[in-house]
Amino acid sequence: MDCLFCKIAAGEIPSTKVYEDDTILAFRDINPQAPTHILVIPKVHIGSVAELTEAHAALVGHIFAVIPEIAAREGLTGGFRVVSNCGPDAGQSVPHLHFHILGGKELSLEMA
């Protein structure tokens, strides 16, 4: 499949990895919107949150168990934001499920 994040997960395109295991990968966003901006992806291709089902419960649970570990390791003691843009109205630009971890400064509360 011609998917940018599948290629990053496979190591075919380089990334600055901050966490990796058998099922998920976290790496630094190429265009950071905050001092810390990390993307967490499943290695398996899932298009977005809109494609998630009960069958993905363990995988999504694992992602959300690792996110606080990454945040702690990055020193985000003041807090952080987790965002997943889903579809064109949300500005999703890469059609492979990913969760942004943003932190390292006081983030704007603007939502739309």
Residue 98 designated active-site: yes
- Give the shortest CB-96-to-ligand DGP separation in angstroms: 8
Residue 48 as a binder of ligand DGP (CB under 6 A): the answer is: no
Determine, following the binding rule CB under 6 A, whether residue 60 of this chain makes contact with ligand DGP. Answer: no
User: Residues 37, 56, 98, 100: which is the catalytic one?
Assistant: 98
Question: Distance between CA atoms of 112 and 105, rounded to whole angstroms?
Answer: 20
Radius of gyration of the chain (CA): 14
How many residues sit close enough to ligand DGP to count as binding (CB under 6 A)? 13
Near ligand DGP in 13-32, by CB under 6 A = 15, 27-31
The nearest distance, CB 38 to ligand DGP, in angstroms, is: 9
Q: Does 112 bind ligand DGP (CB under 6 A)?
A: no
Residue 96 in contact with residue 3, Cβ under 8 Å? Answer: yes
As a whole number of angstroms, the distance between CA 32 and CA 57 comes to: 29
Non-local (6+) Cβ contacts of 66 within 8 A are 19, 21, 24, 26, 40
Q: Of 91, 31, 10, which Cα lies nearest the Cα of 83?
A: 91
- As annotated, the active-site residues are 98
- List of residues contacting ligand DGP (CB under 6 A): 4, 15, 27-31, 39, 85, 91-94
